[in-house]
């Protein structure tokens, strides 16, 4: 292995450490606790080292969002692959999405709530974000219905899931009613 290859590998390891530490800190204490100073202390590198990887917190949030989007896509695909029939796939998608949001609130915020400097719904949207949407579209496109644009249907269903996730987490909706909400959403919006 050349010196250059070793340096690139070490750089990639440091970058993964920064992202993992930011994510852990955000999940434990919220995104306000994620500062370059706090990250530098936790990973035992200087702040200039952090800045050699990311220009600031915004880029770190973006990196967490991209990682989280890939995880969300994988969770949705795994859940829908294990389900038989359109109704069961849509219900599995909804449960997987809501479960991901509940288990990873800081990551969910990085993807959908915070400014990570990432373009959404544009030509230059990063691939992990496009793939997360594609994971929803793969399942929801099959139940969009005649004359309904599959992408618009997926956006609408996704918006409903996002609303359920954020309202439940904010304490505006009781969590014990999540399953009846999923059933209602699937039966009234997705399966007609």
Predicted TM-score of the model (pTM): 0.94
pLDDT over threshold 90, residue 163: yes
% of the chain at pLDDT higher than 70: 99
Q: How far is CA 57 from the centre of its chain?
A: 17
Residue 154 has pLDDT above 70, yes or no: yes
Dump pLDDT digits (tens) for 82-135: 999 999 999 999 999 999 999 999 999 999 999 999 999 999 999 999 999 999
């Amino acid at each position: 292995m050349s010196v250059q290859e070793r340096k690139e590998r070490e750089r990639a390891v440091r970058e993964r450490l920064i992202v993992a530490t930011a994510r852990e800190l955000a999940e434990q204490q919220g995104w306000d606790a994620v500062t370059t100073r706090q990250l530098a202390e936790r990973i035992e590198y200087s702040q200039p080292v952090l800045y050699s990887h990311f220009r600031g917190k915004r880029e770190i949030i973006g990196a967490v969002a991209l990682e989280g989007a890939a995880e969300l896509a994988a969770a949705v695909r795994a859940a829908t692959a294990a389900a038989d029939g359109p109704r069961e796939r849509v219900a599995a998608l909804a449960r997987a999405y809501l479960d991901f949001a509940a288990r990873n609130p800081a990551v969910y915020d990085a993807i959908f709530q915070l400014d990570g400097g990432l373009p959404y719904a544009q030509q230059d949207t990063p691939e992990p974000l496009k793939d997360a949407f594609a994971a929803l579209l793969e399942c929801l496109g099959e139940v969009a219905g005649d004359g309904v644009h599959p992408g618009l249907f997926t956006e609408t269903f996704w918006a409903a899931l996002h609303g359920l996730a954020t309202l439940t987490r904010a304490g505006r909706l009781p969590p014990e009613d999540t399953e009846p909400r999923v059933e209602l959403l699937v039966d009234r919006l997705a399966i007609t």
